[in-house]
């Protein structure tokens, strides 16, 4: 494995300056607290789905453009990590076609159960729901050509471990797409939950065996960024 892929997070923090140094113990505690909320304290998943999938949310309104930016081919196998209530499942399933496959990955048992019902209800025969761990998407090695992470990277309690598993799950040349809140846009609520800015995300992910492929610009996107990486 290349040296950059085995650097500890602390050594990366020390070398990368303030943008990346924001990600520390406090950020991990915030991620763990958020994850407990979604994993253990979901009173009504249907109500949560309505909030998650509101067209007022940028990642919902711009969902077609985000998926188009991935350039998924018919027959591809893609994982939606942090799939939540399954907002991206149908468009991803359509993008890869009946010969492809979508893995809907989430750590929340209530969300996973909701997505399984959704898969049946919407007839998504090329979607499999995966209940994962906080440090791993629990995907087999070299099983997918693409991984999509929408508004979830800031939830990762063990980002290095997760990125290592992403790299292992991707086939050679596979892509990792990260969509997350852009703290540079000055939204106070985003700064409370997101530890890294755009540059910090790039530095961390590149240190773990990925190369930046594209900083995607989508018309109308103001609150989020889209970063595409390729597995080295």
pLDDT digits (tens, 9 = 90+) for 175-208: 999 999 998 876 545 555 677 899 999 999 999 9
Q: Domain range spanning residue 48? A: 3-231
C-alpha triplet 215, 31, 44: angle, nearest 5°: 105
| CATH, residue 19 | 3.40.50.150
Contact 84, 54 (CB under 8 A): no
The total number of structural domains in the chain stands at 1
Phi then psi dihedrals of residue 115, to 5 deg = -65, -35
What pLDDT, on the 0 to 100 scale, is given for residue 23?
46
Phi then psi dihedrals of residue 83, to 5 deg = -65, -15
Confidence of residue 2 (pLDDT cuts 50, 70, 90): very low
Q: How far apart, in Å, are the Cα atoms of 198 and each of 69, 122, 204, 205? A: 18, 35, 10, 11
* Beta bridge pairs of residue 181: 224
pTM for the full predicted model: 0.82
Buried residues in 143-169 as b, exposed as e (16+ CB within 10 A): bbbbbbbbbbbbbbbbbbbbbbbbbbb
Query: What share of the chain has pLDDT > 70, as a percent?
Result: 78
Give the SS3 label for residue 159: helix
Instruction: Evaluate if residue 8 carries a pLDDT over 50.
Output: no
pLDDT digits (tens, 9 = 90+) for 107-143: 999 999 999 999 999 999 999 999 999 999 999 999 9
Q: How far apart are CA 95 and CA 85, in angstroms?
A: 19
Pairing between strand 224-231 and 210-216? antiparallel
């Amino acid at each position: 494995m290349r040296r950059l892929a085995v650097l500890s997070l602390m050594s990366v923090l020390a070398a990368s300056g303030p943008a990346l140094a924001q990600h520390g113990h406090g950020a991990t505690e915030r991620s763990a607290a958020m994850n407990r909320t979604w994993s253990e304290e979901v009173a009504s998943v249907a109500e949560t789905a309505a909030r998650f999938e509101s067209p007022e949310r940028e990642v919902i309104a711009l969902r077609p453009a985000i998926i188009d930016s991935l350039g998924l081919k018919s027959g591809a196998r893609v994982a939606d990590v942090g799939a939540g209530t399954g907002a991206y499942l149908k468009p991803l399933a359509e993008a890869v076609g009946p010969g492809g496959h979508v893995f809907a990955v989430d750590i929340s048992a209530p969300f996973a159960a909701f997505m399984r019902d959704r898969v049946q209800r919407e007839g998504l025969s090329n979607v499999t729901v995966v209940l994962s761990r906080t440090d791993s998407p629990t995907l087999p090695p070299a099983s997918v050509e693409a991984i999509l992470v929408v508004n979830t990277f800031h939830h990762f309690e063990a980002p290095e471990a997760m990125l290592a598993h992403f790299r292992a799950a991707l086939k050679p040349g596979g892509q990792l797409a990260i969509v997350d809140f852009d703290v540079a846009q000055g939204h106070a609520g985003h700064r409370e939950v997101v530890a890294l800015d755009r540059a910090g995300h790039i530095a961390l992910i590149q240190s773990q065996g990925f190369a930046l492929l594209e900083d995607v610009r989508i018309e109308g996107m103001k609150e989020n960024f889209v970063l595409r990486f390729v597995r080295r």
